[in-house]
Structure 1
Amino acid sequence: MIKTIIFDFGDVFINLDKAATSREFNNCRVPELTTGLLDKNLQYEKGLISSEEFVGAYCSEFEHLEKEQVLKSWNAILVDFPKYRYEFLKKLSEEKDYKLILLSNTNEIHIDWVKENVPFFEDFQKCFDAFYLSHEINFRKPDTEIYKFVLEKHQLKPDECLFIDDTKENTNAAATLGIHTWNIEPTREDIIDLFIAKQDLF
């Protein structure tokens, strides 16, 4: 029996355009990211470097880049947060049938954009029993340590948890620990259909 539902954020609640950042950087005459910058991206998502260091790394690598261009390109992935998904979660939270946890690979610049552009974000956050962003806990998916962190922190049994994420690599990693998973396909599936899509678990 599922007692805890663990949600990803991007392409589960907020819509993403995952190719947009590369397109924007191309427009800024940054055709391809170096290995060093890709490593900085991972460090930043884990909160191991500050936003200033992160932006500075891009501006140092490509001297023609300005801070605002980096921020615009970086945030281009974020599209919109349909309110009906928040309303689904709010109802789920009010029913109190499940422990609700958010577990997302999210960095400071992205979450700042969300706070500024999603008027109901604070209420959305309050729907969860726990709200974990990778840059705040220094873990990121698909490393198994992030799932173990959540399981241990809340004394959860893996077979009583359902983890929902749009990235197969992330759900595969959770499944190795015995967690039930739903690798949601955002182009044809929606989180509001959770209890239909995974009715075998509920």
Structure 2
Amino acid sequence: MINTIIFDLGNVLIDWNPYHLYRKIFDSDTEIQHFLETVCTMHWNEEQDAGRAIQAGTEILVGQFPEHEANIRAYYGRWDEMLGGGIEGTVNIFKKLKDSSRYKIYALTNWSAETFQIPLKQYDFLHWFDAIVVSGDEGLRKPDPRFYQLLLDRYEVKPEEALFIDDNYRNILAAREMGIQSIHFTSPEDLNTQLGQLNLL
């Protein structure tokens, strides 16, 4: 019996995409792709999500790629421009789940503690959660099983009574390994269908 729902945030409830920013800086998506695959990579970003200070992470890359200094500094200096708003369909699903009063609802997110204050101020729906566990605060990130376990232990959640929703399949596999039923998020419409099939919505 599912009594707890755990949401990822980025690209499930919040549209976060570096392209929103870098389309204002580069001339083509090909250039952006190359920059994000070779300079400001997802692995580098996840180190800040896991607790490394933004300034430290930035200086590391500036030292490695001085020719891209301005573009590297824009990553966090103009980070708010990477936010495209709440994903309306998922926010509506969240509201229905919350209004049903059937579930405890948490967020488990890979997010820098330094940037998380920005969406927290912008999006009211982030205050609907019973709690949010932020990787940057904890020094752990998905798919590390210790990060999932931290939430389970802190809020006394049994894995078999929880449902986890994330857009990153790597994180879904890690949750399933821990006995947490999971939905790989691809769209609000698909999520709505799957929740209906599970009689959760």
Per the normalisation by structure 2, the TM-score is 0.77
2:98 aligned residue:
93
- Over aligned residue pairs, what C-alpha RMSD do you find? 3.4
| Amino acid aligned to 1:43 | E
Distance in 2, matches of 1:31 and 1:162, equals 32
Q: C-alpha distance in 1, partners of 2:45/2:175?
A: 22
Change (3 A) 1:78 1:193: farther
**Which residue identity does 1:101 align to in structure 2?**
Y
Query: Given the superposition, is the C-alpha separation of residues 55 and 96 from structure 1 closer, same or farther in structure 2, using an over 3 Å criterion?
Result: same
Aligned-pair distance for 1:82? Answer: 3.4
Q: Which runs of 5+ in 1 are unaligned?
A: none
Residue pairs, 1:8-157, within 5 angstroms: 8-17=8-17, 26=31, 30=35, 32-33=37-38, 40-47=44-51, 49-64=52-67, 65-66=69-70, 68-71=73-76, 78-83=83-88, 85-108=90-113, 110-115=115-120, 118=122, 121=123, 123-157=124-158
Deviation at 1:183, TM superposition (A): 0.8
Amino acid at match of 1:127: W
Counterparts in 2 of 1:147 and 1:90: CA distance versus 1, 3 Å: same
Secondary structure of the residue aligned to 2:132 is strand
The answer to whether the Cα contact below 8 Å between 1:144 and 1:173 also exists between their aligned partners in 2 is yes
Identity of aligned residues (%): 27
Q: What are the Cα deviations for residues 14-58 of structure 1, in whole angstroms up to 9, with x where unaligned?
A: 124476688768459947536x976643321111x2111122222
Q: Which residue of 2 aligns with 1:7?
A: 7
Change in 2 beyond 3 A, CA 1:30/1:8? closer
Q: Deviations over 1:107-139 (max 9, x none)?
A: 2454344346x3xx2x32221111011111111
Q: Greater share of helix residues, 1 or 2? A: 2
1:175: Cα distance to partner? 0.7
Q: Distance in 2 between matches of 1:31 and 1:89?
A: 31
**Kindly tell me: are residues 190 and 21 of structure 1, through their superposed partners in 2, closer, same or farther at Cα, counting changes over 3 Å?**
farther
**CA–CA distance in structure 2, aligned partners of residues 86 and 135 of structure 1:** 23
Partner of 1:184: 185
Kindly indicate whether the alpha-carbon contact (under 8 Å) linking 2:113 and 2:135 is maintained by their aligned counterparts in 1: no
Stretches of structure 2 lacking an aligned partner (at least 5 in a row): none
Relative distance call for 1:32 and 1:130 in structure 2 (3 A) is closer
Aligned-pair distance for 1:85? 3.7
Alignment partners' CA distance in 1, 2:45 and 2:134: 15
- 1:76/1:109 CA distance change after superposition, 3 Å: farther
- 1:94 and 1:83 mapped to 2: Cα distance? 16
